[in-house]
Structure 1
């Protein structure tokens, strides 16, 4: 199987992709700076440069890069700047623009404990189990207020609405049918503009279908990577 690199979302840790690293061969979950160790970066562009350095990929290696939310933004930016280094993209609960509500940005500064609960609630479909809610809360607590704030501010500044059509690598777009952070219309926009992109809507899932419905998402990932390897 091709190398699969997974990039987590805002305020999360690499544990977000544990259902994938446990089940899929050659899958590696990256840890963004400050999540929880080190200092978080302040823009998608900075994270893209970090990705180039940390991966240290041989020129012959073209991984499939999967990203959730902020991670998807980083993956798209990397594919736009270094298309020759990317074998494919898997975009999970993300968008070409990731505007954050003013209320959330304020809560991130002024009401951190309450903000964690709000972020967890908005990340998941209503039927998500308590164990997953607890895991996500623990990620935010471990990552902390400052890194999470920087993540959401980086998302708020991210906008490749005009550039996204220039992505030229095979792309699978996955969105939860109940995603309230990056609703399915965000995924449809990406699918309409990225040439030959595939769109999959995972029902009964919110912003984190890879954690909420891992068996479904793993099946989609396996099928997509298989297509790339067979091409």
Structure 2
């Protein structure tokens, strides 16, 4: 079963490098405007863009996995384009993704110095120096405007009242130390999706798929065995 990966706010498809290596039939997409291409400003628009990518690849039902904003897009896509959706892998995300005014001020007023703080928020204290440097590079390549736009799309999005529409299997992964989308967000998804399995990864932060790839990939492999 083919899998497409969607990155989170201010990042790139490189945040799924460990997954594309482990699952050769998967592909990490780069969201438009990161930094190239026409920028889209809402999760619904991004879900429609995703549907066009799926259709262009033949239109067969697939699995979409996403981290944070990417998970929001995956959920929206599964609701709006159910004929394309076979399963979901939801990583450090939720049904509602509110963003504080302080975070917008940090992005707008302190860039690029604010990148270090954004990465600190996204990774646990256990993350390697190499991963921290790579995450900082992703933010620099994407830029301030796209990062702000991503978080604004998250802030305006809420599908808590639509989760019952999703009737496909979902793997729900979250880092135990995720401060941006705490485990309670994933627990909510597990409680309200018809076929959701929750896996909490010990000692990991928000970009859990990059921070703890062995544990995450093991859970993904088990999930993919269902298809």
TM-score bracket for the superposition, by shorter chain length: over 0.9
Instruction: Provide the residue aligned with 1:70 in structure 2.
Output: 69
Task: Give the Cα separation in 1 of the matches to 2:146 and 2:167.
Answer: 32
Instruction: Provide the residue aligned with 2:179 in structure 1.
Output: 180
Residue 136 of structure 1: SS of its match in structure 2? Answer: helix
Instruction: Provide the residue aligned with 1:58 in structure 2.
Output: 58
Please identify, of 182-191 and 45-54, the stretch whose mean Cα deviation from structure 2 is larger. 45-54
Residue 40 of structure 2: SS of its match in structure 1? Answer: coil
Unaligned segments of structure 2, at least 5 residues: none
Residue 212, structure 1, aligned to residue 203, structure 2: no
Give the TM-score normalised by the residue count of structure 2. 0.97
Instruction: Provide the residue aligned with 1:124 in structure 2.
Output: 123
Give the TM-score normalised by the residue count of structure 1. 0.95
Instruction: Provide the residue aligned with 1:114 in structure 2.
Output: 113
Task: Give the Cα separation in 2 of the matches to 1:82 and 1:192.
Answer: 22
Matches within 5 A, 1:2-151: 2-55=1-54, 56-59=56-59, 61-151=60-150
Structure 1 residue 25: Cα displacement: 2.4
Task: Give the Cα separation in 1 of the matches to 2:95 and 2:169.
Answer: 16
Structure 1 residue 164: Cα displacement: 1.4
Instruction: Provide the residue aligned with 1:154 in structure 2.
Output: 153
CA contact (8 A) 1:13 1:36 kept: no
**CA RMSD of the aligned region, Å?**
1.0
Task: Give the Cα separation in 2 of the matches to 1:221 and 1:103.
Answer: 34
Moved >6 Å (runs of 4+): none
Structure 1 residue 23: Cα displacement: 1.3
Residue 190, structure 1, aligned to residue 189, structure 2: yes
Task: Give the Cα separation in 2 of the matches to 1:158 and 1:119.
Answer: 21
Instruction: Provide the residue aligned with 2:164 in structure 1.
Output: 165
Unaligned segments of structure 1, at least 5 residues: none
The count of corresponding residues between Structure 1 and Structure 2 is 226
Q: Deviations over 1:140-164 (max 9, x none)?
A: 0000011111000001101111111
Structure 1 residue 35: Cα displacement: 1.5
Task: Give the Cα separation in 1 of the matches to 2:14 and 2:186.
Answer: 24
CA contact (8 A) 2:51 2:81 kept: no
